[in-house]
Amino acid sequence: MHTVSCPPVQTLDQILPDEPLLMMGAGPVPIPQQVAYANSLVINHLGPVMAKVVEQVRAMSQYVFQTRSPYIFGVSGPGSATMEMAIANLVEAGDRVVSVCNGYFSSRMAEMARRSGAQVREVAVEDAQGADPDAVVAAIEQFKPKVVTLVQGETSNTTWNRELPAISMAAADHGCLVIVDAVCTLSTMPLQMDEWCVDAVITGGQKGLSSIPGVSLIAFSEKAFAAIRQRKSPPVHWCLDAQLANGFWGEGKYHYTAPTSGVLALHEALRLVCSETLEHRFARHLLCSTALQAGIEALGVPLYVRRESRLNSVIGVVVPDAIDGTALRAHMSHAHRVEISGSFGLPIVRIGQMGEQSREHHLFRTLHALGSSMQALGATIDLPQGMGQLEKALSADP
């Protein structure tokens, strides 16, 4: 009767590892119990319970983004969907855009702007360096863009744009709308959306927030929303139309069926950020990341980016010449049940320090797995020295 027959499949138990892997890569990251529980619930996407959840998600997000703007929306989709939403709503065909390109993800914003019909001027930043405000301002003065895009932390090569506040404020002074990718940094390090004059902040759930992948957050400033209201034509992406999203997130009207389980998970993730407070959360991330970095260097293994431009949220570790990065990751995964990330063509592996990854017990297990796998594959490293340095750095007085 049926032309396509039912395929033979394995159960998840047969596919999944017998012991869960410790997710220490560039995301997704481990999630707390409360987030996992919230993600197991399904509620009506319209009505008073969802309205309360949405109201609280917005209020907590205002704290996390440090903005008074009410235009904060949860989005069904990955971090890239919020990137697309920012571009699709703030850029119209023919507009000029300056994109600060530090690597793979910041260049994605340039590509999306081109696909929206914009004229794009890229400011290419040397690998493993932060962007220079003077170079960006020079491009703005010459090209006169409507929109400037840049990333806070470029996950692909583990670089931090330390000068983000200066660049954003200078761009705003020149009348530009500023889009910032905070996918890997939100809630791991300071971001002051209003104070730094940022007009759209995009982020995913699966990184600093320690929520699930697939439900993301975006914040638009009041200035950005006024510009959206004055568009000549609506954005082509109906699902990502910010005014329609505002109908649901601001007025409880149907747009599309919201991912209620994922929004509940996000609610719990944000609630945990609020109860920890941003101040303590930033301090925890800083301590854990710098201690892990010190441990790795004490193994005798260099880090990819110099300290002044180094991202703390994702650490780039140079793979010793004697070994292969893919074999290293496979060994860590099979022998130690620790998962880290590969790279985008660079001679590095990447270890995340976002949300639940920044816990002391995870650091010891990860550093041991890294060092011992390097040794097993033939590299000469000093494992006791590395472990000792991690212990010392974690117990040092701030």
Which of 238, 197, 242 lies closest to 221 in space, CA to CA?
Answer: 197
Tokens of 79: 């971090």
Which residue in 84, 122, 163, 181 binds ligand PLP (CB under 6 A)?
Answer: 181
CB of 12 to ligand PLP, least distance (A): 23
Question: Between 295 and 352, whose beta carbon lies closer to ligand PLP?
Answer: 352
CB of 87 to ligand PLP, least distance (A): 12
In this structure, what DSSP letter does residue 152 have? Answer: S
CB of 142 to ligand PLP, least distance (A): 27
- Per CB under 6 A, contacts with ligand PLP among 53-112 are 78-80, 105
Question: Between 120 and 393, whose beta carbon lies closer to ligand PLP?
Answer: 120
Question: Between 150 and 227, whose beta carbon lies closer to ligand PLP?
Answer: 150
Is there binding between residue 183 and ligand PLP (CB under 6 A)? yes
> What residues does 97 pair with on adjacent strands?
120, 147
- Per CB under 6 A, contacts with ligand PLP among 133-152 are 151
Beta-carbon count within 10 A of 256 CB = 12
Residues that bind ligand PLP (rule: CB under 6 A) add up to a total of 12
Which residue in 30, 74, 145, 204 binds ligand PLP (CB under 6 A)?
Answer: 204
CB of 311 to ligand PLP, least distance (A): 9
CB of 209 to ligand PLP, least distance (A): 12
Residues in the chain: 398
Helix runs in the chain, H state only? 12-15, 33-39, 48-65, 79-90, 104-115, 133-143, 164-173, 222-229, 242-251, 260-276, 278-299, 325-336, 360-376, 383-395
Using CB under 6 A, which of the segments 1-9, 177-185, 220-228, 296-304 binds ligand PLP?
Answer: 177-185
Question: Between 85 and 120, whose beta carbon lies closer to ligand PLP?
Answer: 85
CA-to-CA separations, 293 to 95, 126, 353, in angstroms, rounded = 42, 22, 10
Using CB under 6 A, which of the segments 31-39, 119-127, 136-144, 176-184 binds ligand PLP?
Answer: 176-184
- Per CB under 6 A, contacts with ligand PLP among 7-26 are 26
Which of 351, 231, 348, 358 lies closest to 283 in space, CA to CA?
Answer: 358
Which residue in 23, 24, 27, 128 binds ligand PLP (CB under 6 A)?
Answer: 27
Beta-carbon contacts of 384 under 8 Å, excluding residues fewer than 6 positions away, are none
Cβ-proximal residue to ligand PLP, closest one: 79
Q: Tell me if 17 sits within 8 A of 334, measured CB to CB.
A: no
CA-to-CA separations, 76 to 45, 195, 255, 266, in angstroms, rounded = 13, 28, 12, 12
Q: Tell me if 353 sits within 8 A of 292, measured CB to CB.
A: yes
Question: Between 25 and 295, whose beta carbon lies closer to ligand PLP?
Answer: 25
Using CB under 6 A, which of the segments 181-189, 191-199, 247-255, 327-335 binds ligand PLP?
Answer: 181-189
CB of 342 to ligand PLP, least distance (A): 12
Beta-carbon contacts of 104 under 8 Å, excluding residues fewer than 6 positions away, are 154, 155, 156, 157, 344
Residues that bind ligand PLP (CB under 6 A): 26-27, 78-80, 105, 151, 155, 181, 183-184, 204
